[in-house]
C-alpha cells in the first residue's frame, strides 16, 4: 500500500523536520528532554560555544520544538513534546512506506519462488 504525497502545509512542520538535521540541535533536544536547561548547558551538550549555539536555539524555538521561560536572569529551554511528536510522525510515515514496499517485494519474491518450485 502506498500513500499519496500530501502538499506541504503552512504549519511549519517541514521547517521543524529540517531543524532536526543538525547534530548539535539534536543534542540540545536530547538534553532538554529531561527538563529545563540553560543555554550554556545546551551549548555544552552540542559541543558549541554559547554564541554559536544561540542561533540554533532561536531556530528550535521558532519552529516550535522548544519553549523558553525567563526565570530572573536566566532563559530556560524545554522541549515541546507535542511538536516533537509531530516531527516523529513524519519520519514514522516515511518509514512505514518503506516497510510496506519491502514487504511487497518480499512477498512477491516468495510467491514467484513457489511458482518455480524453489521455495
Judge whether 98 lies within some domain: yes
Number of domains in the chain: 1
- C-alpha closest to that of 76 among 27, 25, 42, 26: 42
Q: Is the pLDDT of residue 82 over 90?
A: yes
Judge whether 2 lies within some domain: no
Q: What is the pLDDT of residues 16-55, one digit of tens each?
A: 999 999 999 999 999 999 999 999 999 999 999 999 999 9
Judge whether 3 lies within some domain: no
Judge whether 6 lies within some domain: no
Judge whether 4 lies within some domain: no
- C-alpha closest to that of 25 among 45, 2, 5: 45
Judge whether 72 lies within some domain: yes
Sign of CA dihedral 78, 79, 82, 83: positive
CA distance 61 to 63: 6
Hey, what's the cell of 88?
Answer: 516523529
Residue numbers of the domain that contains 45:
13-116
CATH number at residue 34: 1.10.10.10
Amino acid at each position: 500500500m502506498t500513500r499519496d504525497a500530501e502538499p506541504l502545509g503552512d504549519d511549519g512542520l517541514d521547517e521543524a523536520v529540517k531543524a532536526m538535521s543538525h547534530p548539535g540541535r539534536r543534542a540540545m533536544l536530547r538534553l532538554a528532554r529531561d527538563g529545563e536547561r540553560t543555554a550554556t548547558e545546551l551549548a555544552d551538550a552540542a559541543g558549541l560555544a554559547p554564541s554559536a549555539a544561540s542561533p540554533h536555539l532561536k531556530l528550535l524555538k521558532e519552529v516550535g520544538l522548544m519553549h523558553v521561560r525567563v526565570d530572573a536572569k536566566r532563559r530556560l529551554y524545554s522541549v515541546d513534546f507535542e511538536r516533537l511528536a509531530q516531527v516523529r510522525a513524519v519520519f514514522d510515515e516515511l518509514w512505514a512506506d518503506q516497510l510496506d514496499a519491502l514487504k511487497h517485494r518480499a512477498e512477491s519474491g516468495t510467491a514467484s519462488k513457489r511458482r518455480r518450485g524453489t521455495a
